[in-house]
Amino acid sequence: MVTSANAAIPYRVEQVVMPDVAVVDGNDNEAFAKLHRFYVGGMYDFSMWQSYTDDAGVRVDGKDTSSFDIVAGIRIYDTFRVEANYTHTIAKFDDVEMNGDTLFINALVDARIDSMYRLFRSQYLVPYVGAGVGLSGNTVDNAKIENKLSPAVSVMAGLGIEFGEHFAIDAGYRYMYMFSPKFDFINGLNPTAHQLRVGARVNF
Amino acid sequence: MKKISCSILLMMFVVSSAFADYSNRGFMREVSYGLDIVGAEKNVDVVPDAAPGELGYDVYESVGVVDTTGTRMFIPTNMYVRAGGGLNLGFASSNAKFAGKEHESQDSYTVKIGLGWNLSSYVRAEVDAQMSTFTFENLRDAQANYQTLGAMLYFDFARRYVMDGDITRIRHFVPFMGVGAGFGHYEFEGISGANGAVIAAPRAEFGFNIMLTDLIGVDIAYQYQMMIGNGFGWDVKNDSVDNISNVIASFRVNF
């Protein structure tokens, strides 16, 4: 910015106002994300479904089941990613089995240290926490449901074990809560499970 | 005049030398031990070793370089993630009412997942999700559960990071307390169970943190919650105030 010159001085004088210098952080919060913006992965799920007793006293015991997950995600920052998560849900309550195609949108925060420190320090373990919302299309054996489509929510935490920048093993926990599909044999059963998950992710 | 000037200079030199008393040995000692560098006395090699190379080769040895063995980089952190679980303390929680009788909580557990911000050396803020399942003494077929979202403000009783000149030390044991609130859904399963929205206010914690590494630590805390707006049991009023006490252990990972 140039202001008026001082005419009393026989040579030209310009006063230049320097722009404010922004504080340089030194950290690039997309250092890893720029290199590997997308990832895919798969997980094995061990689900422990919770028992339930309804208002009429009808009780079902939740069983343990196995199923799988597929994820495809985008890494927005090094510490934040969003993923589409297909889960093949298998829930068992006594002799009633519910199969669901569940699609979650998960938001996850990775505990990844700043890029400026990564130059000097290798981080193999990257814990994360996250939450998801989704919909599940369900079918049931040995019973009937009123709603074929049920909302579901989840919270999760886990540990990513990174082998280089392309590959990671993922071990975690997820609490899954599905709003009631309205079973015909019991009132108000919201299928709820503690899930242990193990899988792998590939970054590209 | 010239003689006078020389005499004065000579006197000044003699007098100043007498007062200075600044030996070469003292100077070396100050350089070796008196510098304001923490750990210099221990680490700095001030005596050059015999040159290990052959005669005729140019062999150099760095003297005065701090030995970095055992030194780790200090990584300042802004946030943390938390995951863990805990047990309910039946003796310090309200008893559930069922058919007019009271039943103490037994084998009840909680899962906690949180995301936090290190606001300063002493203060942290955190949002968390808690999922609890209750079972009760002599009432094995009846259970209750709640899911809450909460926000807490934690106060550490000691600095996590202690600045000491160029060296930053990390405390491995830091007691803390926290206050906050939560809201969520209660469900006592079965006939006439108290189901509905519940507010956990206040929610208070008192515990300690043990750092396992520079970034990863374990928190062990007692948690108290005053549950407002929902009964605690079966066939009870939905407007009572009840107490829940948990002991929660969780991993806290800073980043």
Which domains does chain A show, CATH number per domain?
31-203 (2.40.160.20)
A43 in Cβ contact with A69 (< 8 Å) = yes
Q: Using the 8-state DSSP alphabet, how is residue B38 labeled?
A: T
- Domain range for B214: 79-254
| Element containing residue A97 per DSSP (H, E) | strand A96-110
Residue-wise pLDDT tens digits, A163-199: 988 999 999 999 999 999 999 999 999 999 999 999 9
Q: How far B183 CA sits from the closest chain A CA (Å)?
A: 16
Tell me the H-state helices in chain A: 31-35, 115-118
The token pair that represents B156 in the structure block: 């550490």
Quote ipTM for the complex.
Answer: 0.85
Q: Residue B83 and residue A173: Cβ atoms within 8 Å?
A: yes
Residues of chain A with C-beta less than 8 angstroms from the C-beta of B255: 79, 110-113
Residue A15 has pLDDT above 80, yes or no: no
Residues B122 and B238 in one domain: yes
Of B83, B191, B253, the CB nearest to A55: B191
Task: Give the bridge partners for B22, in sequence order.
Answer: none
DSSP A22: P
Residue type, A98: M
Q: Answer with the one of B45, B71, B97 that is the final residue of a domain.
A: B71
Give the least confident one: A149-163, B41-55, B85-99, B201-215: B41-55
Please tell me the total count of domains within chain B.
Answer: 2
pLDDT at A63 over 80: yes
Q: A21 to chain B, minimum CA–CA distance in Å?
A: 23
Whether residues B3 and B38 share a domain: the answer is yes
CATH number of the domain encompassing residue B101: 2.40.160.20
Q: Nearest CA to CA, how far is A54 from chain B (Å)?
A: 5
B241 and B161 belong to one structural domain: yes
Average pLDDT over residues B233-255: 93
pTM (two decimals)? 0.79
CA distance B243 to B98: 17
A187/B20: higher pLDDT? A187
Residues B33 and B156 in one domain: no
| Segment B27-62, tens digit of pLDDT | 676 666 555 445 555 556 667 666 665 665 555 666
Structure-model confidence comparison of residues A128 and B240, the more confident one: A128
Least confident residue range of A9-23, A26-40, B114-128, B199-213: A9-23
Q: Which two tokens stand for residue B115?
A: 């995301």
Tokens 């199923």 belong to A67
